[in-house]
Structure formats: C-alpha cells, structure tokens
A and B are shown apart, each in its own frame.
Chain A
Amino acid sequence: MKPSFQEGGKFAKLQSVFDGFETFLFTPNTTSRSGAHIHDQNDMKRTMSTVILALLPCLLFGMYNVGYQHYLAIGEASAAWTSMFIYGFLAMLPVIVVSYGVGLGIEFVGAQIHHKEIQEGFLVTGMLIPLIVPINTPLWMTAVATAFAVVFAKEVFGGTGMNIFNVALITRAFLFFSYPSWMSGDKAFVKTDSIFGFGGGNVADGFSGATPLGQVATNAGESLGQLKDVVGGEITTMDAFWGFIAGSPGETSMVAILIGAVILLVTGIASWRVMLSVFAGGLAMAGIAHAFPSAAYPASFIDPFAQLCYGGFAFAAVFMATDPVTGARTKAGQYIFGFLIGVLAILIRVYNSGYPEGAMLAVLLMNAFAPLIDHLVVNRNIQRRLNRAKAK
C-alpha cells in the first residue's frame, strides 16, 4: 500500500496524509541520519498523547458537569448521574468534532500544499478548545474562531512549535472579542434546551446562568453577597473546588485539573516551575487585593484560596501557561513568566470591571513577553560569566 503514496505513485499528492496516519500515535522506526538531534524516549506524538491523557479528567468531569448544570436548571437535580453524563457528552461531542474537523482540516490542506509532514500539534489544541469555550457558543462561531486561530496564530508563524501565542487561547480570545454576548453573562455557560429530545424540560423559576465570577463582577455593596448556583441555591468554595459550578466545561473542577497536573508533572512534560509560580503569583495578588477590599472592586472580597478555585485560573495555570512552545524556556525565566501570569490574571479579574475573568488575557500577554524574559535571563547569565572570567 505504501509505494502508491510515495513519489511517482498513484496517490503521491496524498503523501503527507498517508504519512500522518502511518505514524499516528507511535514512533516510526526510521531515525534521522544527519545533523544534531536531541535524543529522548518521548517524541512529539507521545508528548501530545500524554497531554490528552492529562486532559481526560477535565473532559469527563466537564461532560458530567454540563449535564449536572442542565438538570439543575430544569429542576431535576435528582436525575441519575448517567443521564447527566450522557447529556453532557451529547452537548460536547459536536464542539469536539467541529474543533478537530476544522483545525485538522486546515493542517492537512496546508501540509499538502507545502508538501510537508502533517504536524500533530493540533491534537492538544483541538481538545483544549471544547474545554475552554462556553457550552452554548454556536458551532459556526467555534469553527470560524478555530480556523482564524490555526491560520493566523500558527500557520503564518511556521506551524507547530513556531507559534508565539497559545492557539487555543487565541480561539477563545477571538470569540471573546467578536461575539461578547455569547462569551459571558447569563446565556453562555448553561445549556438549557434538550438535545435530540434528550433531557427536555422547562427551565425552573429564578434560573440564572451567571457564573460565580460573573455574579461577583455585578456585586454591589460593602460586602460580597452569597454566590448562587443556577437556580438560586447557595454555593461554597468547596463546590467550586470540586467543580459543581457553572462555567466553561473544562475549567470548573479544581480536582480534575489537579489530577491532570499530577499526570503532566510525573511524566515531566510540563514545567513545575511555571505551574508553581502561577499559583504563587495568583495567591500573592489575591492576598494583596483581599487585604484592601473595596466596594468598587467586588472581586477583592473573595479570599485568596477561593480566587484560585473560581473561573479559569487553575486550568490556565496547568494547561495553558505550561505550553512549552509559547512560554519561557530558561529556568529563571519560567519563575518570572509564571509569577506574572498569576499576578496579571487576578489583577485583571479584580481591578478591571469589564472582564470578570483575566486568566486568558494574562497568559496571552505573557506569551508575548516570554521571548523578552528569556533574552534578559540569558544576557544576565552571559554578563555574570564574563565578569567571573575577568575577575580571574
């Protein structure tokens, strides 16, 4: 079968597609013959597969929570967890299909045009997108945003490994600025209508789809009002820690995210320096904000630990900031990079009333600064060694 895909064969035009599938998820037994190469038992495909594995807890819990919020909204919170999961699965499946379909489609076409190997970078991006886009976002919007991000944030810079900004976050940022009414507020985060007649029901009285941070942003008065779930019940920080709150599918559960974090750290794929310093920066900034609470900035009433549990902060810290391509690469740089992401995310969340959540913007902004941080760290090192050489 292979020869017909090689040069001169019948399907020579589809060579890169064939190549892509032949080596999908495993390493080919041919190795590079010239030049310098770093040897490691992990190649890019296996790295990607591990990240997908780390994302699975978030994905599965996200599916369950989409269903849970739905049944809560229609006043059937006692429904079986299986039907909640199936509902969430049906709700998220189209988003996953669209995200992979559009993104991989563009990559395949691009690879064919340039006669290059298909790069597998989109495997992870395609899984991140459904997790960070609100569940009610119309599919065509997700498709447009994905296409935009893959072409303008990745392909124009030279494809996988060359991008400056995190592609999944660019997708979300595009949606956020293009269609703001679908990305925040009441109707974005909780799916209320039935899917193929599954999970039908009328929305309960007093329904409000606002996320906890959305409620905080509109809070008035000298103290923080009680945060409520979609039908007006009280929610606590523990609910947010376990993830039973409204929000984008992947980001609600701190527990699922931490399981993912452990997988990433044990396999050595993500940098613990970045992860740790994002949380440190977030805690520090949240502590400062909490020390000076003000009615003008209601998010300053939230205590520091709860700040980390709400919104997309933890997800951004574990899966977005640690992207090895768009982050800082020097060790000292990783501490600075991560710490500033944490600080900025909380800074935007608390002191910019226009944005209830700042994790996305913080990561994107620091992506732009990562090369500068690395440059400074490297230069400082050179300077130090020069001084040492002179002193001798």
Chain B
Amino acid sequence: MLSKRSKEIIFNPFSKENPVLVQVLGICSTLAVTVSLEPAIVMSISVMAVLAFANVIISLMRNTIPTTIRIIVQLVVVAALVIMVQQFLLAFNYDVSKKLSVFIGLIITNCILMGRLEAFAMHNKPWPSFLDGIGNGLGYGMVLVVVGFFRELLGSGTLLGYQVIPQCVYDAGYMNNGLMILPPMALIVVACVIWVQHARDKELQEK
C-alpha cells in the first residue's frame, strides 16, 4: 500500500529519529501536559493534526514562498491551524482544554513543528509531507502517552480518571507518589524512556 520511502518517512520518527527522544525537541510540553493520560492523548492528537496539515500547506506553497520571509509564512500557517484546534477543543472537550490551558496555544512554539516545516515540508511534495507530519506527530504522541501513563498511574493511582490501583493495596500501606505529579519527575521519566530506547538501539549509543 505504501511505498518503501513512505514507510520510512512514517516509521522513522518512532525510533531512530524520534523528535523527543533523539532530537530532544518539544520537551516543554512533554513536561507540562503529562500529569495525567487524558490531556497527554489530546495534546498528541492536536500536535499531530497541526503538524500534518501545516506540512501539507507549506509543501503546497513551497515554491512560491520567498526564502527571506519563510519563517513568518510558516508561523502564520501554524498559528491559523492552532487557533482552529483550540476552538475545536473549546467547543467539544471543554474540560480537557482547560487542563491544557496555554499549552494548546503554545503548540505554535513547539520546536518539532518549525523543525519539520524547515527540514522536510520546504523540500518535499505534499503527500510525503503529510506522512512526515503524521509520523512525527505519532512519535511525539507516543512519548507523551508513555510518560503520561506512568505519571498518572504512580502519581494518582488512576488511568484516564478511572481508579486502577485497588483500595486493598492502599490499605496495605501503599501511597501515591506526590513527586510524580510535579514537573521534575516528568524529566526523569522521559530520561528513563530515552535510557531504555538507547540501551536497545545500538545505533543511537554514543561512542
């Protein structure tokens, strides 16, 4: 269905070129929205949507944009898409959009977006650009979901708001870890994910 190149474009951001784990971009939002799983998922989908469509639009216009003002053009496109996502969330998922607060608006400053637009969409056709956007969005979202999963599970004992750790465990003396809710722990969980990934993938290890 997909050609070999398309597959590479879409799956490379999962491991070898993961925007968060390997390129270390978008860390800010990774720390901010992963206190629980639900905002992490919504954030991933939002970023993926903005990234994919911004890539397509910029790719369509790539031959007409003067290089001197390309950053401004990219920003305008991203800003328009971000506002659409924001309004959509306000209309259909008000609670989560309140939890995400400024971070939806701040997608515009997410380095992953500018990075992909500059590095990929400016030089490629719309279809590969779209796939690239989806792939990087998934790569980013995957990290968010993993981090959000552990932080919500260990920090609040819930997943997607449902109690997962049974009451009898608490009765036996278990307690939720308050540090998991605080931002520093997000950094450490991301570090652990990077650790696991680099330990498994020999190519990523520094000599």
Contact = CB atoms under 8 A, between A and B. Distances in A.
Contacts of B173: 138, 140
Interface of B: 173, 175, 177-180, 182, 188
A152 B177 contact: no
A179 B188 contact: no
B179 A152 contact: no
A140 B170 CA distance: 13
A180 B178 contact: yes
B175 A177 contact: no
Contact of B179 (A138, A140, A177): A177
Contacts of A181: 175
Contacts of A179: 175, 177-178
18 contacts: A138-B173, A140-B173, A141-B175, A152-B188, A174-B179, A177-B178, A177-B179, A177-B182, A178-B177, A178-B178, A178-B179, A178-B180, A179-B175, A179-B177, A179-B178, A180-B178, A181-B175, A182-B175
A114 B180 CA distance: 30
Contacts of B178: 177-180
Closest 6 CB pairs of A and B: A178-B179, A177-B179, A178-B177, A178-B178, A179-B175, A138-B173
A140 B179 CA distance: 16
Contacts of B177: 178-179
A37 B92 CA distance: 68
Interface residues of A, number: 11
A174 B179 CA distance: 7
Nearest to A175: B179
A141 B176 CA distance: 11
Nearest to B155: A178
A181 B176 CA distance: 11
Nearest to A179: B175
Contacts of A138: 173
A49 B182 CA distance: 37
A174 B178 CA distance: 9
A178 B179 CA distance: 4
Nearest to B188: A152
Contacts of A152: 188
Given A178-B178, A178-B180, 16 more contacts: A138-B173, A140-B173, A141-B175, A152-B188, A174-B179, A177-B178, A177-B179, A177-B182, A178-B177, A178-B179, A179-B175, A179-B177, A179-B178, A180-B178, A181-B175, A182-B175
Contacts of B188: 152
Nearest to B173: A138
Interface string A159-192: 0000000000000001001111110000000000
Contacts of B179: 174, 177-178
A133 to B, nearest CB: 15
Contacts of A178: 177-180
B188 to A, nearest CB: 6
A174 B154 CA distance: 14
Among B178, B179, B188, max chain A CB count under 10 A is at: B179
Contacts of B175: 141, 179, 181-182
Nearest to A141: B175
Contacts of A140: 173
A174 B173 CA distance: 18
A26 B191 CA distance: 38
A140 B173 CA distance: 9
Nearest to B178: A178
A152 B178 CA distance: 18
Contacts of A177: 178-179, 182
A141 B154 CA distance: 13
Contacts of A180: 178
A187 to B, nearest CB: 13
B147 to A, nearest CB: 16
Contacts of A141: 175
A88 B173 CA distance: 22
A141 B178 CA distance: 12
B92 to A, nearest CB: 36
A211 B83 CA distance: 53
A251 B155 CA distance: 30
A135 to B, nearest CB: 16
B24 to A, nearest CB: 16
A172 to B, nearest CB: 12
B154 to A, nearest CB: 9
Nearest to B192: A152
A83 B178 CA distance: 37
A110 to B, nearest CB: 14
Q: Most chain-B CB neighbours within 10 Å: which of A174, A178, A180?
A: A178
A217 B182 CA distance: 24
Q: Which of A138, A174, A177, A182 has the most CB atoms of chain B within a 10 A radius of its CB?
A: A177
A180 B182 CA distance: 13
Contacts of B182: 177
B127 to A, nearest CB: 43
A138 B177 CA distance: 13
Contacts of B180: 178
Nearest to B174: A140
B82 to A, nearest CB: 34
